[in-house]
Structure formats: C-alpha cells, structure tokens
Structure 1
C-alpha cells in the first residue's frame, strides 16, 4: 500500500485488494493510467490530490492503481474508452460503473452514487461486459471475399479531402497502409505522406500517437514504442514498393529517437510523454516490454533488409538478444523482463497473446534477414518454442486464441479473443510455416501445424467479415495469404549475398526469403508460389522469376 502525492492509498493490482474489499464489504476503485497519459496526471493533480476526495476514497473503497502498459489484459477488460479510466467494481471484479476523466465535482457525485448502489445491491450491482460473456466467435470460410470486402473499404472510408481513412480523428493505421500498398498504392502512399507531415516530430524524431482533427490537426504528442515500431515498418514497406527516398527520412529520425530517448541499456522503453510545463523534461517509461521490443526488432530488420542500414541491424540484434536471454523461458514470454518488474507488482504477466505473436514474428524475420548464425541463439528454435506454447495454452477448440491465460483476478478469468491479436498471431504463424517448410522440421511438428493454426484463427472470425472496416484491414492481409500461396524465395547462398539482397528487395513485403537454405545449392535461388517454381542464378534472373509468378517483382533501390 502506498500513499503518493494524491493522498490516495493506492494498492497494487493482485488478489490482495479484492480480498480486502470482500472482507471490508467495500467496492473497488480501479484507476487505469499510463506514464504517457497527460490527462491521467491532470486527474491526479486536480481530483485525487483533493484531500476530501482522497479521504472519501480511502474510507469507502479499496483503491487500486493499474499501469495499463504493464497490465494490458486489465486494460482491455476495464478500459472505459480511454485513459484515465475510472472503474468501480465488486470484490469479485465485476463492473459496477465507470468513466474516463473525472474532475473533483464529478468524482464526488460518482463516489456518492456508487456507495449508495453498493449498499443497496452489493455484488448484484456488478456486471460482466458483453465482450467477455464467453459467446463463441462468428466462424466462417476463409476465401477471397474477405480481401475483396476490405479492399472495397479502402475506397468506402477514404477521406478524399484530407487523406487517410475516416472523417473524425485520424489514426495512422500502419497495418491498413500495408494492406493498401498491395491493393491501392496511391492511397497508401498519400496516407504515409500525411502521417509524415502531421505526426512525425521533425525536431526530436518519432511519431505522435494520432491527430485529433479530421484534417490531421491537433496531434496528441505522446510517443509509444509500439506505435513507432509499426510506423517504421509501414514506412519502410512504402519505400520497398515505391523506391521513394523521402519515405525513409522519418524512418531514420524515428530510429534515432528510439535509440536516444528510449534505449535503457538492454532494450527499448515503452513511451515518452508530451513535454511538461515549465520546461520540464517529458516523462519516460523506460520499462522494456516484450511485445513492443519484438515489434521494434522486426521493424528495424525490415529497414536493414531494404537499405543495409548498420544501426538498424545492430539494435535489432541487441533487442533480439535481450528477448532471448531475459524475456523467453521454455517458450513462455514474460511481458516484462523479470529483473525489470519495479513497482508494478510482484506478479508480472506472462503468456500474453500479443507478446507471443510479436516474438514469433521477430525471430522468424531475423532468420530470414540475418541468417541462421547471426546470434548465439537458434532463431527458428525460439520462434517455434514460443509459437508451440501459444498454440498449446491459448488456442481454443474453435480456433481463436485467447489474449492470455484463462485465470486471474477479477475479469482476467473471463475469455477475451481479440481480433487484432489473432491477426498478429496468424500472420506470424504463416511466416513461421513458410520458413519451417524451407529449413526443415527436425525439431518437432511440421509447417502444416502452424499454417493450420493460422487458418483456424482467421476462420474463427470470418462469419463477421462483412462488418469489418479499414481499421482491421490487417485481417484482410492474412486472409489473402491463406487464400493463395505465399511467394517463397529460398536462397542457397549465405545472408548478405547478391541473391539474398535481391530477394529481400522484391516489392512484396509478405514474401518469405530464406538465405542459407538447405535446398537449392549455393549460387541458386528458388522462387516458388505453391507448386510453381523457377530457379535463378543472378539478381536479374530472380526478378524475372518473381515477375513470372506474380503481378510484379520490381525491387526498391
């Protein structure tokens, strides 16, 4: 229990405060905050620091403070539409009511109302949100209709006047951009240019989180590792398709921002808040989170693959080493490195779907870009162990993946099957399946196991595809890969050879390129899509082979 400058005696998330609430016959007050969230700190200063409110909270409730970056499963279950989230719960964790930011007057009113409801109804006042009701996901067939529908949404939701998608606040939507790069390149590139103009910080590097205005005005200036990693990858892929050098400028600046402002000596930290008043330096969260670091490594590997950038390769390798050494144990991924738990509670989460998906993707990408011997770790072995653990522990009989273990305090025991997490896992599993198909499966199950798990995860949501918009266009990307064979380029030469570099720079960011492949022999690259295959011995031959099997094949740079 800690009493901070707010005068509220905050408890840490865990079983203890809920047991305390049961014993004391009180409701629980959850305060969901983040280091990067200015409104969270304003609520601390204006509301929780007010002595009478703090006394009311301490006397009538069991207050629990949750950092949403450290506890993403709590965030997804108790989020009231943004942060801060102010949530009142029963001792069992069911939701009584909730709100976002509350000023002093609003908090006084809500505290009184909740105390009355709790006194009158007790546990019966709580409810389990509909998303956690355990209803089955809407399964269906995975076919070309999914890609076609979401490609149509690129037009349907396009903002002709300002670019980007939607007619309200503008989010960068990096996975939507990547989906559009293969289906409507003009819109994808226009969006990247708008993001660079409005959300890239030309002074200090890095991308802001989103723009509050439809015209890309009013940027929200917090910078999160996960967002920046995804945008590095999207801009690098934009360069891959267009060869437009200007798209690399924000990539370089953001890489430098990550190194200068978020590197903690071992891995990248999670966020930088907007600049403080009175010249105060922005708050930083230098905690290393597994998923964010894995995404950063994968993004930097893409930059290194397309441009031979040495710094991107160096930091990708350093992050991968940290992940293998400190975050992954017997296939289980810890959300936070065990030696970096800090004050976030003695029981840091592990086995989260998003962390597993991103680690699989990063280590599969490392084998494709760096080759088998770049690090003192079996890259494919790590990817397979993490994928196998997720399939064994998070996959449900109907095929969807849960967001984490089916146990925990409060609503953590309720099933949540996030679409975006399932998309990320399916994409990573398809990359791994294609990789294992090339390098062999001596260590266990074959590539079909991963491809089947990916298909099942996508099929688990396919019955609702007609309701999906561009915000989840990544679902269309992975459905497309399941509807037609991947482009796979097996290179007999070592990584960094002319053939390998040519394969990496084919204009298809979903192509799986594998150097030091056991087949074909040295000096040969085999290009295949399904049962069609062609051999090449020069970069020019490789591009011709790709063109013969696809609609394109032009390389960048």
Structure 2
C-alpha cells in the first residue's frame, strides 16, 4: 500500500520537528481541539483524500491538540481552529490558514513547497514573540477609569456585550463591570443567559457569531462554564436577584454531572449534530473530552467555592473539595502539571491554581491550601519571572518557537490577583510588590487594551485601592465568617481564624472598629466606604 492510500502518520510536535530538521523538510502543523467540529470535518473530508495524502509526502505532518499543548496553541494559532500552519524545519512560520477544502489545501501545499525549495520566503516569528520590550508605565487610578471608559464606549446598547462580533461572554469583563457599570453588566448577563445558556442540557455554549447573539457555536468548554458560574454567583451577591442564583445552580449541575469524571471536571463537550438543538426529544448526547486540566479545575474549584460561600449549598462544596484533591495531585513543589503526565509550569495553570488555593483558604479556612498557595506562588516567581517583572507563559525550552518568550497579559492579571490575595492572607507584602511590578510592566499599553482585558483593570484596582479585607477572629463556617463572605463586594478578601476580636474590615490604611455580629460588620463596612466618599 502506498503512502497516499494509508492514513496520515501524524507526528508529535517534538518528533516531527526533529525529523524535519534531519531531512530539511517543511512541516504542516494541524492544530485542532476535541470539541472543534470544523476540525473533525476537515479530517474526515479534506485530509482523508488520497490526493492530499500524496501531497503531504513532501512534508512532515504534525498534529497537536490545542488544549493539551497551550503554549504551542498560543504561538501558532491562525484565526481559530483548525489552524493549518506551514513551518520551516526550525518551526518558524511560512504561512497559515484555518479550515480548507481539498483544492484549497492542494494549492497551498504546492505553493509552500515551491517557496520552501526556492527559499523565496524565510520563516517568520509572530509579532507577539518579536516584541521583547515591556510596555511599562506608571500604575495609577487612571488605568481603572480608562478601562471603564473603554467598556462604556464599546458597549452594544442594542444587544448587550462589548466589542465587535463574534460575541463571547467575557466573564471577567462582566465582573469588572459589576462594580463600575452595573447596567452594562446586567444587560450582558441577561444576553448571555438568554442566548448562550442551554436550558435543556445545562451549561453555556462557547460564543455567538453575530452581534445579536445568533449563530451559536454549540461546543461547551469547562473553563468557560466555570468562569461563568463564578460570574453569575458574583452577580447574585451584588444584586440579590434569584435569577442569577438559579443560573449559577444550573451551571453547578452541568459541571458536576455531564462534565464530572468521578474525581474532577472534564475538559469540554463537543457540539451535537447540526439538527440536535431543536426539540428536546430529538437531542443526542455529544461526546465529552474526559481530560482533566489543572487550570480548568482550578477555575472550577474557585467558582464552586464562590457559589457555596454565598448559598451554603453543600454539594458545591463537596465537589469543590474533590476537584481540589485531584488538583493537589498535579502539584509538585509548587510546579503544576497541565494534566496528568503533561507539561509543567504553564503560567495560566500556575495563576489559576494559586487563585483556587487562596479561595479555599478564604472560604474553608484550609491552612494546607494556604501552604500550597505559597509554594505555587514562590515557584512561579522563581521560574517564570523575567527581569522586567513580567511573567513568561512557561519554561524557555522546547521545540520550535517554544524557546521564544511570550508574556500573556491575561494570565499575568490572574496571577497578580492571586498574589494580592496571598499578600493579605499571609501578611507578606513581597507578594504585593511582585504583583505591582508585573502589572506595571504593561501599564504603558493600558489605553490600548480592549474590553476582553478588563481583568487587568480589576487587578490594578485591587492592588492600588485596597482591596477590602475582612479579618474574622472566628473560624470558617461561623456566622461572622459567613456574613463576611456575603458582604456585597466580590473583590473583597476574607481571612477566617485571624488574630483579632470579632471581625475587622480594612481598605488600605483605613480600618474599622471590631464588629461582633453580622449586622455590626455590615454597618462597619458601610461606614468604612462612607468615610472615603467625597
């Protein structure tokens, strides 16, 4: 049987680049995801034809799961999934595109082969990897104001949401707006719930292609659902509206049934057949990718404990504790594995795990979680921090462009948030200073950040202006601790079992008198902020 008659012999990233360098052969990288319907169709149609397989004989074919290899994803994705990327043997990019039909791919393969043979076009390094200078600037309250102004300017007054289509739910942007543009946040929460929430099976779909939230992409990703669980829980805290709590409860159910592996939360659920979103009786159960990712489960732990803190719903706590136990098994000396046996020290995993552990200390009073949080933070600072204060997305090693540093702003903002929490929980200002340096490294670009990066504004605000911290002398689970968790500020930090009488609230240098009851605590917090009002 000839090469063109058998299936494509996909190589792994490392194996494929080594082979390409050995033979001086160009690479075709097929970057896909288990939940991606376009990826599946391209594999079953375009990539299964004999003529395409024959053309691929002059390339080294590499297939990478974008969820399993996030650092490859972030360097090589071209406009979405699938990404079909053509590279030099060294892993530099020649060109790339998304899904292609048979003739389209044949044409590109022929042109790339000609270009490579004639060396007309050397490989290139993406701009995000070539910009090595940090856009540093001063951190001040103007950053938060500018971010709020950008949200106001980009808000869709007719349909809700921010920015141009496609419309993603942007959970952290909604949380930023809950304190700074309540109307925009509520209108977007309603649009997301109306259009992206699956009322029958539960969970949220990934995004809508059109401005009016139509043309839904029906895949469901666990990290997106976990983030929205936290957002709707925080909306319930901020407004007291039962509809937000009900949406959060349905999302808890989805994460802990459909996506539950028995010990943690699975990665994603693929979309069903195109005709399966009509009448409920016509539905089929789309497949679930059972891979357990550290960052995804850290988000789930954070969200489940946040929901539990506001509702006392015991099931949410129990599932959070089980996922936290699995997450603990992925941590070794502060180094977090992306999944069992996977790569380590991915910045987003480190940042989200830190957030889950600090939340476990706040909500459950878990001292072991606090010790792990210190370990994760210290390891991240030691291994991923650059001289200018920024954090790399992972180790500076690997094949292809993995050796080129990438400094992701969104993960940096998540890490800074966790470090601010850790500084309050431990009393160690060094964590706050690391967060300050990391955020300042991007401050010069704050006027150019779109609404999807509002989490940066939240992190800067919490660093400079507070956050509200409530230290409770009573243990976790006491009436005073539960009341502290339900103070209507989702950016606050609660420290149970603190060395104080009653509960003491503080913002920066200002501190309330001790409160001995939930009612006194609520008054004390109100007076603290009233004193700061003009």
Report the TM-score when normalising by structure 1: 0.91
Q: Is the 8 A contact 2:33 2:65 kept in 1?
A: yes
Mapped to 1, the partners of 2:344 and 2:304 lie a distance apart of 25
Which of 242, 255, 259 aligns to 2:256? It is 259
Partner of residue 274, structure 1: 271
Q: 2:278 — aligned with what?
A: none
Q: Which runs of 4+ in 1 moved over 6 A?
A: 3-6
* Matching of residues 4-153 of structure 1 within 5 Å: 7-14=7-14, 16-57=15-56, 59-121=57-119, 125-153=122-150
DSSP-derived class of the 2:391 partner: coil
Structure 1 segment 207-222 matched on structure 2, within 5 A: 207-222=204-219
- The alignment status of 1:364 with 2:340, answered yes or no, reads no
Could you tell me whether the CA contact under 8 Å between 1:34 and 1:67 is conserved in 2?
Answer: yes
CA distance in 1, matches of 2:441, 2:4: 45
What SS does structure 2 have at the residue aligned with 1:125? Answer: coil
Query: Which residues of 2 match residues 155-554 of structure 1 at below 5 A?
Result: 155-276=152-273, 281-324=285-328, 326-338=329-341, 348-372=342-366, 378-437=368-427, 447-517=428-498, 519-521=499-501, 524-534=502-512, 535-550=514-529
SS in 2 for 1:96: strand
SS at match of 2:117: helix
Q: Deviations over 1:20-55 (max 9, x none)?
A: 112222101110000000000011111101111012
Tell me, what secondary structure is at the counterpart of 2:505? strand
Paired residues of 2:5 and 2:53 also in contact (CA < 8 A): no
The separation in 2 between residues aligned to 1:506 and 1:8, in whole angstroms, is 58
Residue in 1 that maps onto 2:280: none
Deviation at 1:182? 0.5
Distance 1:503 1:87 in 2: 51
User: Partner of 1:261: helix, strand, or coil?
Assistant: coil
Provide Cα deviations, 1:353-401, integer angstroms capped at 9, x if missing partner. Answer: 000000000000001000136xxxx111100101101100111110110
Task: After superposition, give the CA deviation of every residue in 1:226-265 in whole Å (9 maximum; x if it has no partner).
Answer: 1001100110000000000001122111111111111112
Q: Is the 8 A contact 1:507 1:552 kept in 2?
A: no
Query: How much has 1:307 moved relative to structure 2?
Result: 0.5
Gaps of 5+ in 1: 339-347, 438-446
Contact 1:6–1:49, Cα closer than 8 Å, also in 2: no
Cα drift, residue 106 of structure 1: 0.4
1:173-221 Cα deviation digits (max 9, x unpaired): 1111000111111111111111100000000000001111101111111
Aligned-pair CA distance for 1:531: 2.2
Q: Scaled by the length of structure 2, what TM-score is found?
A: 0.95
Q: Are the structure 2 counterparts of residues 546 and 423 from structure 1 closer, same or farther at C-alpha, using a change threshold of 3 Å?
A: same
User: What is the CA distance between 1:449 and its match in structure 2?
Assistant: 1.4
Quote the Cα distance in structure 2 between the aligned partners of 1:168 and 1:20: 41
